[in-house]
Chains A and B, each alone.
Chain A
Amino acid sequence: MKHVVLGLLATGPAHGYELRRRYDDLFADAGVEVNIGQIYVTLGRLERDGLVSHTTESGGDRRDRKVYRLTEDGAAELRDWVTRPSDTPLVKPDVLLRLVTARLAAVLLPDVDPTAVITDHRQRCLQALRDLDRQAARTSGTSVGGLLVQATALHLQAELRWLEACQRQLAEIELTTSGNGGHDG
């Protein structure tokens, strides 16, 4: 959120409601909307860190408005963030860890079916893909929101293909740990 707001200010100074309009123009068709409170909270933090500053503009007969602009530090932070490689985890191993753990605990938890980890997660991915396809119908192929929806849909499809591979291959993988050699002879 922080860097998105810096980016929105990079196109020119703006007050809070104008920033929200800029945000929604980009992202609202992907189903992600922002409320004005989030915008102001973010602006407050950015100002505290010296990345934005504001001037007060007379609103005539309306309330005075704070107009925010990037500071030099803000522009430097924006450049740094945009050019730094993303540190998002490429793959989240949570499901695989659950699967492996369910297999390790087969004796301790005999009523837990490891394949249910796969089938439950598949259900979750398929359901999300179904919901997302409805959203995709509301986005345009040439909008930022459309690209966001597409990214998520492609990730979900990859996850589903991977689950098929898990289901096929996991049965063939022997789970051995260095500690289990002596226990069951």
Chain B
Amino acid sequence: MADPVLRAAGLTRTYRHEARDRTALRDASIEVGRGDWVAVTGPSGSGKSTLLHLLGGLDRPDRGEVWLAGHRLDNRSESGRALLRRRHVGFVFQFLSLVPTMTVLGNVELPLVLQGVGHRDARRRAREVLDELGVADTADTVPTALSGGEQQRVALARAVVHRPDLLLADEPTGALDSTAAGVVLDLLRRRHADGQSIVLVTHDHRVAAAADRVVTMLDGRIADERKLAEPAGEPTYAHLLDLDG
């Protein structure tokens, strides 16, 4: 299918706060092809999270359109957007949204169960992803018993377990130390190699550098958008490690 998995044009969003308007996002457009990996970076308050929330239908733009897997998303009701999101998107929120009354395993199985995957299969796939992220030993506990970093990895496991058309992630390594961030990055790389489309917001330049395309935001606008190339032939880092001086 040649259609992009996500297409957004002219997104503008203004919030009203204490009788003053603050435009969090101005005229942002983005297109994500199937299998693309796009990283959105920029300073705090530059509009990254606002953009991601509009792309995932958590919020609606004042102007502009969002198309998800060929369906117009932004003009639907909240429940209509939730339905499309459930069908097509895995979402990792910055504020974690695990179900506190279910076990970790139950949380991760949930998207599969909602897709109608059989119980045994769902359990196996959920355990595999938890294992991949180094948190298999948390499967039978409740999310509130976990550290922030463990909860973040469980949330990512839940977002990718059903191989959604699009993974949307807000700071997926935000609560992680560098080793755990490396585990998450490895999982994202493997899923991307398998064709997973990804849009993530990140402060972590290591994560951004792993994407195919980096969008930089500034003051609510897309300031720059660049493709990163695969190293052509010999890698180019050797000159950075100059021992000849």
Q: Decide: B206 and A1 in contact? CB cutoff 8 A.
A: no
Which A residues lie at the B interface, using CB under 8 A?
1, 4, 27, 30-32, 34, 88, 115, 119, 122-123, 125-135, 148-149, 152-153, 156-157, 160-161, 164-165, 167-168
Q: Decide: B209 and A32 in contact? CB cutoff 8 A.
A: no
User: B residues within 8 A CB of A128?
Assistant: 236-237, 240
Q: Decide: B218 and A31 in contact? CB cutoff 8 A.
A: no
Q: How far is the CB of B173 from chain A (nearest CB, A)?
A: 12
User: A residues within 8 A CB of B218?
Assistant: 167-168
Interface stretch, picked from B72-80, B111-119, B158-166, B220-228, is B220-228
Q: Decide: B205 and A126 in contact? CB cutoff 8 A.
A: yes
Q: Decide: A132 and B240 in contact? CB cutoff 8 A.
A: yes
Cβ of B2 under 8 Å from chain A: no
Q: Decide: B241 and A153 in contact? CB cutoff 8 A.
A: no
User: A residues within 8 A CB of B208?
Assistant: 126
Q: Decide: A1 and B241 in contact? CB cutoff 8 A.
A: no
User: B residues within 8 A CB of A130?
Assistant: 209-210, 228, 231
Q: Compute how far the CA of A34 lies from the CA of B243 in the bound complex, rounded to whole angstroms.
A: 10
User: B residues within 8 A CB of A1?
Assistant: 243-245
Cβ of B216 under 8 Å from chain A: yes
Q: Compute how far the CA of A149 lies from the CA of B241 in the bound complex, rounded to whole angstroms.
A: 8
Q: List 24 contacting pairs A-B, 8 Å CB cutoff, sorted by A.
A: A1-B243, A30-B241, A31-B238, A32-B238, A88-B245, A119-B216, A119-B226, A126-B205, A126-B208, A126-B228, A128-B237, A130-B210, A130-B231, A131-B231, A131-B236, A133-B206, A135-B235, A135-B237, A152-B241, A153-B206, A157-B206, A165-B43, A167-B43, A168-B43
Cβ of B229 under 8 Å from chain A: yes
Q: Compute how far the CA of A115 lies from the CA of B43 in the bound complex, rounded to whole angstroms.
A: 16
